[in-house]
Every structure is written in C-alpha cells, then in structure tokens.
Amino acid sequence: MQTIDFSKQIMHDSAKEQYRAPSGAVPAGTKVVLRLALRDVFFKKIYLVAVAGGVEENIEMYEENGFWCAEYTTPMEPQAIWYWFCISLDEKTNIYYGARIGSTSGAGDVYWNPPSPFQLTVYDEAFTTPTWMKEAVMYQIFPDRFARSDDATFDKGAAYHRELGREVYVHKKWDEPVVYEALEGREFYEPCDYYGGTLLGIVDSLDYLRDMGVTVLYLNPIVEADSNHRYNTGDYLKVDPMLGTNEDFELLAKEAGYRGIRLMLDGVYSHTGDDSVYFNKYGRYDSVGAYQSKESPYYNWYQFANYPDEYKSWWGFQTLPEVNETEADWIDFVIEGEKSVLATWILRGANGFRLDVADELPDETIEQMRRKLKHLSQDNALLGEVWEDATTKQSYGKNRTYALGRGLDSVMNYPFAQAVTDFLTGKSNAEALKRFFVGQNQNYPKDMYYSLMNLLSSHDVARIRTVLGTKIDAHSLSREQQAHFVVSEEQDKAGAQLQRLAVGIQFSIPGMPCIYYGDETGMHGLLDPFNRAPFVKNDEQMQEYYRKLSRLRRESDALKTGNCVFYAQGEDMLGILRFCIDGKDAFGNLKKDGMYLTLVNRSEQKHQAVIDLFAGEELMPAKAVNALKELEFVRASCILTGEDYSVAEGLVQAELPPKSIKILEIEWI
C-alpha cells in the first residue's frame, strides 16, 4: 500500500498563539486551547492525547473558525505534560501529529505511529524570580586566579594550611602554567597549587567590573577547604584564610553593593571534604568528626556501610563523603537554623547561591532552601548547576521538579553554550539554533527563562575562544596533551572573530549573560585545570566589545525584559528581535519602548538579510504584529558599525559580511 503524505495538509505549531493559547509554559490550573489545522483530510474522528503523570487522556476535538480545537485544563500539580493529536481516517487507520524528532515545540510532523510529543510545562502559579536576575550581567570568578591583594593575606592563609599538614604549592609568578600532574614525590595529582588571589583583590577590581557593566558576581567556592577549587568543603562558615576573612567578605559585599553589584556564592551541599570540621578523617580540626566517633554531632550526616572506613561518597571519591540532605541535623545546620549556613552568608551580604550538582540534591531539600532564602528576602536567588533541559531532567529515577516554580529560580544554561558553539563551528545550522531558542522560550516558565544563566565558558568547560578557534574536542586530548597544546596566532584570530558572534547572541537573548573571568580579555584554556589560569589582559578590542554590549543591555529595557522573536535564513543567518512597544515589556510591566534586531552570519560569504517585522513568526503575537504595523519606522542603525539601513513596510534589509554580526537599533516616530 502506498503511504500518503499528509505533511502539507495538517499543522500545529506550539509556538504560535493561533495553535496554542496561551503559549509557552503555564501556571497550574490553566485552561489551554490547542488547535490543529487540517485541509482536505477526510476522517472519522479526531482527538487530543494528553499525558500527565503517566496517565493518558483522550479529549475529543471540535471545529471552530477553521481549526479543530481541544480545551485542556492543566493539573494543579506542577509537571511537564506531553501531548499529540490522533486522527482516525477509518476504523483501522490512524495518523498522528506530534513534535519533530529532537524537538518538543514549534511546528510538528505527521506520523503513522504514536509520535514524539509536544511539551506543555505546568508550573506553580506563585512562582516569580527577582527582577534583578532578569536585568543582570553576571561575571564568574575563580577566586584564587582573579586578583591578588597587596598585603599578607595569602601568605598567612598558606601558613595556616601548612600548619594543618596540607600540601600547598605556591606559584612564584602570576603567569606560570597551572599544575596538572602529580608534584614531585607525590603519586597522584592534587589541586594544591595556588596563585594567591584574594577577596581584597576582588575588592580592588570592583571598578573594573562595574565599568564592564557587571551587576552580579558569581564566586566559585570561597569557604575553607583543602584544594584550590574548594569544592571539598572544610568549614561552611569560614572564608578560606588564603582568600581572607569573613570581614573581608563583608567588605566585598558592601563595596560591591555601592557599585550596584550583587554577590552569588557557590553552595556545595551534596558532600563535604573528608578533611573537614564535619568528617575530620585526618584529625586536623579540634572538632569530633563523624569519622572519629559515632557520638559526633555530625555522624548522622553521613552514611556508613562499615564504620569508619566504608562510607557513601560522591561518585566514589573517598575524599568527598556524601551527606544525607534530608537528615534533620544537617537541614537545621545548613538551611533552617537561625544561624544556618544559608542565613549566615545572607547576613554577611550574599544575595543568593548557585547550587553545585543540583541534580544530586533532593527536590524537597531544594524547596526548603528556596523557602528559607525567600523568607529572608524575596530578592535572594537560588540557581542550580544543571547541564540539560531543567524542565524535563531526570535523575535517580525521578522526574525533577526544581524548574517548576517551587525550587530553583534559574539554572546554568549549558545547553545554550552547546547550541551556539555547534552553530558557529558548523555542527548545526541556523534553523536548528532557532528551534533550540524557541524550545527554551516555550518550555521554561517565563520568569525562569528570563533569568537563565546564559554562559559560553565556565570552570567546567573549555573557554569559548579556544573552542571556536581550534574546533578541537578537548575531551579527546589527554591532560598532558592539553598542557602542551598551543593555540596558534591564526586560531586565536579565528576564535576572536567567532567569539564576537557568540557574545552578541549571548547579550541579545533573554536571560543573564555570564562572562567567565578573562573571556573578555581573550584568555584561552581547554578543560580543568587549564580553563582556570590566572586572569590576564590580552585583547583590548574584545574588552571594549563586552563593555559596549553590557552598556547597551543596561540602558535598554527591550534587551532585558522585552519580547523576543527568532529568525533563520538559509543555513548560516540567525536573527534575534527584541522589543518593547506601547510602553510594555514581555511581562506587561511598564518599560521604555525600544527595538533591536541582531543579525549573525556565520558563513565565509556575505549574506543579504531580509527580515519582515510584520510576519507571523513563532513567538510573535498577533497583537504585537498589529501594533508594529501602526508604527512609522525611521531607520535601523547598527550600534557596532554606525551604518544606517532603511525600514520600509516592516522590511529590514542589511548586508552582512562573512562571519559578522550587526545589532540594529530600529527607530520609529
């Protein structure tokens, strides 16, 4: 039997309001109207299939205004709903309409078997995120490697650790290469090399950060620990003496606040170090640790199989004993107590926490953390390390709920970094990147979407300039090969050119653009520890580029909380439209009107971009199109080059040179 192609006769696009209203993620208990367009298809029955909590529901559809419609009221419990459409052609034959393979939103495809479903995210109706997150420019600092201070802080701290019997290797020069292999006389590599960065060094750099447009600092762990990365906590309540004192942190918070900069700390709560106040395996602390005695106040934190040497540890690393994050004493100490870890650092001046390995913390624990932080101040933020789509993340056999309004405010947007690098290195095309952006817009709760931590580099991935310039998969290289890898002048130039495109995208989409220290100055680096080299200033032009984009974002409501629409033309051209019109932003809040169109051409050839502002693109509401048609456009000016372009009947045309970006400010009267 010949299979009939129905693809041109059936349509549902979850990112267009004529097919799904309201569009995007919705609060619990919302009535959603889902529509399917059919042309010249003869059938006996049509219905919507919705799956919530593993339970399938079939909802008959009715005809209205040229569409087949179904009304679906979302459950009161936040969750991801999955749906598709079933069309019975006769008693024996069904066809289905679902999402395209690899997508969960946008336009779909026709299938002859039950299809890939569309996603409908349902979140807690009370969910909001702090306004400052939606408007922020973030800067991530690895404290030992950012800035020294002209005092004896580090030397005193190094002496303190040595007196405890710890290995401390001090680099004599700031530009020495990082240690990546075992020190002489040692069997294994240990992250025990230090350059001497301090909190006071960051204080001295605050004017630089303010001028860079930074409004929030994310600091990798600053509490006492036996390593340069400090993810093996020794004392949750004490700044590592190498970095300074608790008073130094309070000074940093105060001075940063004067400059309009908030502080976010790294919270490492799924495990501690074995060399800690709480476990005290080596007896270096005066405390009675869990390893030393079952009478220890911390004994119940840990899970021993055969006391004291067999215990549950993080990914099998015996130096990182896991804690039980639902144990009452631990919860009181870290979260709920009047002088808990969270409360203490908020009192000292922190404005929130980034949760290390959030996937390994129970949802109920994350929710407790949220309640505590929001009780202290609604402006406090809770951000999670999540490497995948947080709305559908599964771990330990459970669907995670931390992105559904009762847990995290935001997550690290690693999928963004991957999608952008794939596009710029030729592994995907403009249409795939557009689909990715539309998917995130549709699947994340709006407050979270506009607060996503949009990063291109971090302490856990290779630096963006290196990735784009070399196109090398760092994971394919040994640590020794990475240590001896030299980025050529030609690769650096190519990386810088593509970095400009990546950063332009980063600053043009909703969410918090996050600068990993030194990316703005042209630093290179493969994987840990080579991505954690000391901060140096190399590329003044790149610094100025970051400053310009940060200033533009700071001064434009449209680029912070404005509506967004994405375009793809051919394989190589991406467009991003951001706008506030009629004095309103995407949330309906009063904001200054403005419109910006970012155009990116990744190819080796010039590209003639033509964007129709009046087209009914995905994410563009009909109300917005009608409002745009009422405007009298004057011109579009590129804020990077100063070039002017005409805007006629809603059409914006601009020629893009090879591997270039233009950010057009579109003006009207």
End residue of a domain, out of 72, 104, 123: 123
Neighbours of 308 (CB within 10 A): 16
DSSP symbol at 15: T
The range of the structural domain enclosing residue 635 comes to 558-668
Residue 577's H or E segment, with its range, is strand 573-580
Burial label, 603 (beta-carbon count in 10 A; 0-12, 13-18, 19+)? middle
Contacts of 4 (CB under 8 A, 6+ apart): none
Residue 55 lies in a domain: yes
Residue 3: pLDDT band with limits 50, 70, 90:
low
Residue 423: pLDDT band with limits 50, 70, 90:
very high
CA dist 402 and 392 (Å) reads 10
CATH number assigned to the domain comprising residue 652? 2.60.40.1180
Task: Give strand pairing partners of 608.
Answer: 655
Q: Looking at 88-97, 250-259, 596-605, which range is the least confident one?
A: 88-97
Contacts of 649 (CB under 8 A, 6+ apart): 614
pLDDT of residue 6: 77
The pLDDT tens digits of the residues spanning 324-355 come to 999 999 999 999 999 999 999 999 999 999 99
CATH number assigned to the domain comprising residue 47? 2.60.40.10
Per-residue pLDDT, averaged over 155-182, amounts to 97
CA dist 332 and 615 (Å) reads 55
Q: Where are the alpha helices (DSSP H) in 444-531?
A: 446-449, 464-470, 479-483, 489-508
* pTM listed for this prediction: 0.97
Whether pLDDT at 141 is above 50: yes
What percent of the chain shows pLDDT beyond 90? Answer: 96
Q: Is the separation of the CB atoms in 462 and 455 below 8 Å?
A: no
Residue 640 lies in a domain: yes
Residue 410 lies in a domain: no
Nearest CA to 613 among 600, 629, 591?
629
At 183, which amino acid appears?
Answer: L
DSSP string, 348-377: HT--EEEETTGGGS-HHHHHHHHHHHHHH-
Q: Is the separation of the CB atoms in 445 and 123 below 8 Å?
A: yes
Whether pLDDT at 218 is above 50: yes
Residue 342's H or E segment, with its range, is helix 341-348
CA dist 519 and 542 (Å) reads 9
pLDDT of residue 2: 45
- Sort residue 389 into left (φ over 0), alpha (ψ -120 to 50) or beta: beta
Nearest CA to 326 among 362, 285, 290?
362
End residue of a domain, out of 100, 123, 146: 123
Backbone angles phi, psi at 519, to 5 degrees: -60, -35
CA dist 345 and 249 (Å) reads 9
The pLDDT tens digits of the residues spanning 633-663 come to 999 999 999 999 999 999 999 999 999 999 9
Residue 259 lies in a domain: no
At 525, which amino acid appears?
Answer: G
Whether pLDDT at 453 is above 90: yes
Per-residue pLDDT, averaged over 191-218, amounts to 98
pLDDT of residue 1: 37
The pLDDT tens digits of the residues spanning 263-290 come to 999 999 999 999 999 999 999 999 999 9
pLDDT of residue 83: 98
- CA-CA distances (angstroms) from residue 432 to 34, 119, 435, 436, 567? 24, 18, 5, 6, 11
**Residues, the chain:** 669
Residue 27 lies in a domain: yes
Strand pairing of 381-384 and 410-411? parallel
Whether pLDDT at 41 is above 90: no
Q: Which own/partner contact pairs does 613-616 have at CB distance under 8 Å and 24+ positions apart?
A: 613/577, 613/647, 613/650, 613/651, 613/652, 613/666, 614/649, 614/650, 616/16
Whether pLDDT at 4 is above 70: no
Contacts of 105 (CB under 8 A, 6+ apart): 14, 15, 99, 118, 119, 435, 438, 439, 442, 443
Strand pairing of 62-64 and 45-52? unpaired
End residue of a domain, out of 60, 91, 123: 123
CA dist 438 and 510 (Å) reads 12
Residue 214 lies in a domain: no
Whether pLDDT at 447 is above 70: yes
Residue 565's H or E segment, with its range, is strand 563-569
Burial label, 371 (beta-carbon count in 10 A; 0-12, 13-18, 19+)? middle
539: its two tokens = 């590329």
Per-residue pLDDT, averaged over 92-112, amounts to 95
Residue 22 lies in a domain: yes
Residue 207's H or E segment, with its range, is helix 206-211
- CA-CA distances (angstroms) from residue 307 to 274, 293, 473? 14, 9, 42
Whether pLDDT at 250 is above 60: yes
Contacts of 605 (CB under 8 A, 6+ apart): 658
Burial label, 304 (beta-carbon count in 10 A; 0-12, 13-18, 19+)? middle
Nearest CA to 332 among 360, 361, 305, 365?
365
CA dist 507 and 135 (Å) reads 11
- CA-CA distances (angstroms) from residue 405 to 317, 370, 503, 589, 655? 33, 10, 29, 20, 43
Residue 295 lies in a domain: yes
Count of domains for the chain: 3
Backbone angles phi, psi at 54, to 5 degrees: 85, -5
Place of tokens 């789509």: 389
- b/e for 645-655, b at 16 or more Cβ within 10 A? bebeeeebebe
Q: Which own/partner contact pairs does 387-392 have at CB distance under 8 Å and 24+ positions apart?
A: 387/412, 387/414, 387/415, 388/414, 388/415, 389/415, 389/440, 389/443, 390/444, 390/448, 391/25, 391/80, 391/119, 391/121, 391/443, 391/444, 392/80, 392/104, 392/119, 392/443
The sheet with strand 647-648 has its strands ordered as: 607-612, 651-656, 647-648
Cα–chain center distance at 217: 15
Nearest CA to 577 among 377, 383, 441?
441
- CA-CA distances (angstroms) from residue 593 to 429, 632, 654? 32, 14, 23
Backbone angles phi, psi at 366, to 5 degrees: -60, -40
Task: Give strand pairing partners of 85.
Answer: 48, 97
Nearest CA to 216 among 8, 410, 61, 20?
410
